[in-house]
Amino acid sequence: MIQNKIIQDFPALLMQENGKRLVYLDNAATTQHPHQVLDATISYYEKDNANPHRGVYELGARATKAHENARKSVAEFLHTEPEEIIFTQNTTESLNLVAYSYGLEFIKEGDEIALSVAEHHSNLVPWQRVAKAKGAVLKFLYPDESGHLTDEEIEKKIGSKTRLVAIAEVSNVLGLRAPVEKIVSQARKAGAVVVLDCAQSVPHMPVDVKKLDVDFAAFSSHKLYGPMGVGVLYGKKELLEKMPPFLSGGDMIQSVHEQSVTYGEIPRKFEAGTRNVGGEVGLEAAIQYINSIGYDEIMAHERDLMEYAIGKLKEIPYVTIYGEASAQYRHGVISFNINDVHPHDTASILDAEGVAVRAGHHCAQPLMDYLKITACCRASFAIYNTREDVDMLISGIRNVRRYMGLGN
């Protein structure tokens, strides 16, 4: 059975927690790594480690080749060209790069920046800072009762003054996909650029930046079974070329004199300092691993898990699910609370059962305010999770109220 083989690829999943098999359901925060990623990363450090672009010796040339081959693989993954791919530390840095290099340069006083109230803080706080610095206005799109952004709301909030739209393709709390196609269409009518946070979408579905016609897109390696410390920013060439660098120094220059500097060509103009080539090699291996399984297989498996988990949760009368309780629109995430139990207590009791979920505001406090809660629990799934994992989660949830003295 393919699922058993996949589980065997992930050494962390073979551990025990609190004397029980680890049921890891915090994949929206970070994923575990298969042997293929670990082996590729270790092999780089054992055989090819050097500073790329800076040595004419053979080892340095191999490091440069590894760095650029990883860029090519990411470009193919997103269906674009290597010169439009910038390596960063994570999605947060990628979004900040756009905010500071594009936003501070091209957003003007009175312009509007449109974004969803469900955004991760990494796709909100940078735009707050841009708006404050430039005298721009933030316009928030609010979901309907089921958690979806409606056409009416999109048309109402993205208008003639909108110059930039920042949106997560998949919410890290609700697990619902934004109507990106409608948002891009409305943004084009307004003459606005679109910044797409793909951190929660690339693990679960293919992302074609050219087909979507977004101007920028960002994701993190560690949410895609790759190492921490590597992020990706896609940007349209014509925009990247006119943007100033985000960070300065190292290999992002063409020449430096006492009173002047000439910057390098894209994408290196945005890659200051020594690169995390080992992490990039790990990301390339993660992409190869995803491709070896195929998104059709991944999406079918995760749809089955969503249907099974939501069905089981809906049988428990004291559980509240946030966002539409339907697997049809879910992508790997189910956020919930147990009546009369603080989510941190829920997560702690589940941990004692060997089940790892996340509790808190999930870096989405405006959405928590909108939902009229302070925090919630989040179970997030990946290719290695199984129906047995769901059963363990459900069993743990049924035990929570008993442990808290609230009955069944």
- For residue range 285-328, list pLDDT tens digits in order: 999 999 999 999 999 999 999 999 999 999 999 999 999 988 88
Which residue of the set 198, 363, 376, 377 is catalytic? 363
The answer to whether residue 37 is domain-embedded is no
The answer to whether the CB of 348 falls within 8 A of the CB of 404 is no
Boundary of a domain, candidates 264, 291, 318 = 291
pLDDT number for residue 1: 45
Percent of the chain with pLDDT over 70: 99
Per residue in 247-258, pLDDT (tens digit) is: 999 889 999 999
User: Residue 332 belongs to a domain with what CATH number?
Assistant: 3.90.1150.10
Mean pLDDT of 328-333: 93
* 107: confidence class by pLDDT, cuts 50, 70, 90: very high
Q: What is the mean pLDDT of the chain?
A: 96
Is residue 363 part of the annotated active site? The answer reads: yes
Give the CATH number, domain containing residue 68.
3.40.640.10
Work out the burial of residue 76: count CB atoms within 10 Å of its CB; fewer than 13 is exposed, 13-18 middle, 19 or more buried: middle
The reply to whether 190 and 216 lie within a common domain is yes
Q: Is residue 138 situated within a structural domain?
A: yes
Looking at the fold, whether 187 and 85 belong to one and the same domain comes out as yes
What is the domain range of residue 173?
48-291
346-364, pLDDT tens digit by residue? Answer: 999 999 999 999 999 999 9
Q: Where are the beta strands (DSSP E) in 49-208?
A: 85-88, 112-116, 137-141, 162-168, 193-197
Query: Is 144 found in the same domain as 238?
Result: yes
Name the strands in the sheet holding 333-338, side by side, starting at the edge strand that comes first in the sequence: 319-322, 333-338, 376-380, 358-360
Rounded average pLDDT over 399-406 = 88
CA distance 63 to 44: 8
| Residue 182 in domain | yes
Q: Is residue 41 part of a domain?
A: no
Of the three residues 291, 318, 333, the one that is the final residue of a domain is: 291
Same domain, residue pair 165 and 53 = yes
- Domain boundary pick from 291, 311, 343: 291
Confirm whether 42 is domain-assigned: no
